[in-house]
Amino acid sequence: MTLKRRFCLIAASAAVAATALGPVTAQAEQFINILTGGTSGVYYPLGVAMGKIYAEKIPGVRTQVQSTKASVENLNLLQAGRGEIALALGDSVGFAWEGNAELGFPKKLDKLRGIAAVYPNVIQIVASQSSGIKTLSDLKGKSLSVGAAKSGTEVNARTIFAAAGMSYKDLGKTEYLPFGESVELIKNRQLDATLQSAGLGVSSIRDLASSVPINVVSVPAALAAKLGPPYVAATIPANTYSGQTADVPTVAVSNFLITHAGVPDEVVYQMTKQLFENLDQMVAAHKAAQGITLKDAIAGMPVPLHPGAARYYKEKGLIK
């Protein structure tokens, strides 16, 4: 065999091998970055659970769970293609789709696409008993952490204050801190109260309630009616937190799983399917996932559904 012929055979064999391995390599490189929130909130443990489910159930993907400042940052990261799936509050998603510069969206985030409505975030305002704060009006002149600046929680805080005829100017001091840091300041008597938008039983407030006596601040149902969708009246049941002996009225807003238009249809289909087929693992990660139901999966979606998610819901008869 001539040297030239031998070289041609080797080259041809390499080409065949590359063709055979090509799809496998491409599949193995599929990456799912899950955008969540602070590690002391609810988004993060749910994101970790999703990461495990997707890594185990979707062939050829690898996952990463990214801790972020939550809703607003997550949506901007999706628009920039720096994540494949994110948790975000419904009002933040709506403002992102519109393009509300004041709330952190300088332009319309037109690449956002919906996957599913998940569980409601309950607005939980908790103060140290020593502060004497029991109602919204009691916050006047006191110090309050409203979440990280321009986060979904802070958007909630601004909206609720406005509906109550209040603003940050009524406070003695406004702090823009994540849940865990807010709790530490209250423990050290450097902060009176914290507003946290999260699932019931959030670890940060459980930690606070186990350390110092607390008051869970009431938000009247009339305020929920004034706010309107996506806000609804809600209740923090007695004994959700240590020392909380009675039900406390408040408001809630739905969370959504959001992706972007550039994520392949098959990937989004599998992310949607595996979420609903492995809800037991989600609930094991955090009881807030008990609020995730297939029947409500597309209720109130503020952005267009991704075609991959729509395919799953067609199979389940939710849409035609």
Question: What does the pLDDT look like over 153-193, one tens digit per residue?
Answer: 999 999 999 999 999 999 999 999 989 999 999 999 999 99
> Which of 222, 171, 67 lies closest to 158 in space, CA to CA?
171
Place of tokens 């049941």: 237
Rounded average pLDDT over 291-320: 96
pLDDT of res. 248? 97
Place of tokens 């408040």: 250
Is 29-119+254-315 a domain of CATH 3.40.190.10? yes
Which of 313 and 200 is assigned the larger pLDDT? 313
Rounded average pLDDT over 80-105: 95
Segments in 119-220 forming alpha helices (H): 152-163, 179-187, 203-209
pLDDT of res. 221? 87
Q: What pLDDT digit, counting tens, does each position of 109-157 carry?
A: 999 999 999 999 899 999 999 999 999 999 999 999 999 888 889 999 9
Least confident of 14-18, 32-36, 195-199, 215-219: 14-18
Residue-wise burial string across 12-36, b where 16 or more C-beta atoms lie within 10 A, e elsewhere: eeeeeeeeeeeeeeeeeebebbbbb
pLDDT of res. 253? 93
Residue 250 parent element (H or E): strand 248-260
In whole angstroms, give the CA distance from residue 66 to residue 304: 24
Rounded average pLDDT over 90-105: 93
Residue 216 parent element (H or E): strand 214-217
pLDDT of res. 149? 84
Dump the DSSP string for 283-298.
Answer: HHH-GGGGG--GGGTT
pLDDT of res. 13? 43
Which of 2 and 41 is assigned the larger pLDDT? 41
Q: CATH homologous superfamily for 121-253?
A: Periplasmic binding protein-like II (3.40.190.10)
Q: Where are the domains of the chain?
A: 29-119+254-315, 121-253
Rounded average pLDDT over 85-102: 94
**What is the percent of the chain with per-residue pLDDT over 90, rounded to a whole number?**
80
Instruction: For residue 194, list its beta bridge partners.
Output: 126, 145
Q: Is the pLDDT confidence value at 243 over 80?
A: yes
In whole angstroms, give the CA distance from residue 292 to residue 53: 16
Q: Would you state the torsion angle of the CA atoms of residues 154, 227, 290, 306, taken in this order, to the nearest 10 degrees?
A: -80
Dump the DSSP string for 56-117.
Answer: HHSTTEEEEEE--S-HHHHHHHHHTT--SEEEEEHHHHHHHHHT-GGGT-SS--TTEEEEEE
Q: Please tell me the total number of residues recorded for the chain in this structure.
A: 320
pLDDT of res. 6? 46
CA triple 54-56-59, angle to 5 deg: 80
In whole angstroms, give the CA distance from residue 25 to residue 23: 5
Q: Is the pLDDT confidence value at 7 over 50?
A: no
Q: Is the pLDDT confidence value at 5 over 80?
A: no
Rounded average pLDDT over 294-310: 96
Least confident of 3-12, 74-83, 254-263: 3-12
pLDDT of res. 150? 80
Evaluate whether 29-119+254-315 and 121-253 have a shared fold: yes
In whole angstroms, give the CA distance from residue 86 to residue 256: 8
194 and 183 Cβ atoms separated by less than 8 Å: yes
Indicate the DSSP class of residue 237: -
> Which of 145, 161, 158, 171 lies closest to 103 in space, CA to CA?
158
In whole angstroms, give the CA distance from residue 89 to residue 223: 19
pLDDT of res. 148? 85
pLDDT of res. 124? 97
Terminus-to-terminus CA distance in the chain, angstroms? 63
Q: Is the pLDDT confidence value at 3 over 50?
A: no
Q: What pLDDT digit, counting tens, does each position of 203-241 carry?
A: 999 999 999 999 999 999 899 999 988 888 999 999 999
- What residue type is assigned to position 253 of the chain? V
